[in-house]
Amino acid sequence: MTLSYQVIDVPFEYRHTCWFCGEPYYESHSFMASPNYDQQTLPILVPCCQECFSLCKSIKVSGLDILRDKVKEQLHRKYEKHLQIGINWTKEELEDCEFEGKALEGFKESAWAMYEIAKGRVNYAGWPLAIDGQPMASFSSAFHVQFDGVTYTSLQHAVEQLAKAYAIPQPYLEEVIEVVGREKLAYAIRFAKTTYGYSAQERMASIASLRALLAEEQALSMPMTTPSSGIDVPLADIREFILHRTVMPAVATQWLFKHGVTTLQQLADQEDAFFAHFGQDSEFTAFTYFNAMQIYLEQRELDMQWAKEHDPNQAWFAKL
Ligand SMILES: [Zn+2]
């Protein structure tokens, strides 16, 4: 008999558990990629709780990792108020707080528990997906962002939620993050919260002073950010591979090595040189290559273990 679907492997300790959020099992979602880039032939059954099961129904995506992220985003939205409890209070503050009236006392009793449950569900990482013992490839959490103990599916997602939670205008927060860099999210939020002021001019002035401050800091730590001298690597010795559905062209990787570029910042600094070099072929090629190299370097920065153990060109990066 031929099966008309595939079932993901469920380790013993996870049976009766939702793969998305860790709540008790209700029913399996039958996942079929749409658009179907990877030529999936059979639906894959993924265990769900009642809530995630109903969320999955209306989501059409090309991969299970994207489905998971979309489910998490909807859980974030649905439990936004609960998650904000942890932003507005600490457990101790809540306990010490003198609430008066029945409704408020009720809030005090249950608030922290609601926060912890919501946090547990959005942070829940599931278990590694495999079918008949074969791990499913290209499964990535590389874009996930952690802030204050809560996981967000991407920087964009974190910014949307945190801007709301801290009552910071989102475009302003985005602007600040662009200046300070995504790895300094906490700093960006602190800065945005204390400076967003009353008028557009005041905001522009804050951003300008932040830029000046960072430029000063960068000047002091220049040796850290200057690319190393670079090495010439023969094209044949560079592996071309696919990362997040994008080809990492060997010629573009070779350019990184030649110019000693190992970080996103260094790539950004040499953007003009990059486009001048590859733009000779065509603007489109240059853009495609640049985009690929951004994905490549971002992956290396976000997932250092991947860089060390799985990057096929790690040996060359290690020489820089
Ligand atoms: Zn669930």
**Per-position b or e across 277-315, b if 16+ CB within 10 A of its CB:** bbbeeeeeebebbbebbebbbbbbbbbeeebeeebebee
Binning pLDDT at 50, 70 and 90, where does residue 256 land? very high
Binning pLDDT at 50, 70 and 90, where does residue 245 land? confident
Cβ neighbours, 10 Å, residue 3: 7
Question: What is the token pair recorded at 176?
Answer: 């600040």
Return the residue matching tokens 């802030």: 147
Q: What percent of the chain stands above pLDDT 70?
A: 94
Q: Phi then psi for 48, rounded to 5 degrees?
A: -130, 155
Q: Distance between CA atoms of 242 and 252, rounded to whole angstroms?
A: 13
Q: Phi then psi for 30, rounded to 5 degrees?
A: -95, 105
Amino acid of residue 137: A
pLDDT at residue 2, as a whole number: 60
If you ran DSSP here, which 8-state letter would residue 24 be given? Answer: B
Average pLDDT over residues 283-293: 88
Contact 266, 225 (CB under 8 A): yes
Expressed in angstroms and rounded, the spacing between residue 71 Cα and the centre of ligand 1 is 8
Residue 56 has pLDDT above 70, yes or no: yes
The least confident of 27-31, 56-60, 86-90, 115-119 is 86-90
Mapped onto helix, strand or coil, the DSSP state of residue 28 is strand
170-180 vs 185-195: helix axis angle to the nearest 10?
130
Q: For 147-206, what is each residue's pLDDT tens digit?
A: 888 999 989 999 999 999 988 999 999 999 988 888 888 888 888 887 776 677 888 888
155-165 vs 185-195: helix axis angle to the nearest 10?
30
Expressed in angstroms and rounded, the spacing between residue 128 Cα and the centre of ligand 1 is 16
Expressed in angstroms and rounded, the spacing between residue 126 Cα and the centre of ligand 1 is 10
pLDDT at residue 144, as a whole number: 86
Expressed in angstroms and rounded, the spacing between residue 39 Cα and the centre of ligand 1 is 27
Expressed in angstroms and rounded, the spacing between residue 25 Cα and the centre of ligand 1 is 8
* DSSP letter string, 55-105: HHHT---SSHHHHHHHHHHHHHHHTHHHHHHHHH--HHHHHH----SHHHH
Q: How many helices (H) and strands (E) does the chain have?
A: 16, 9
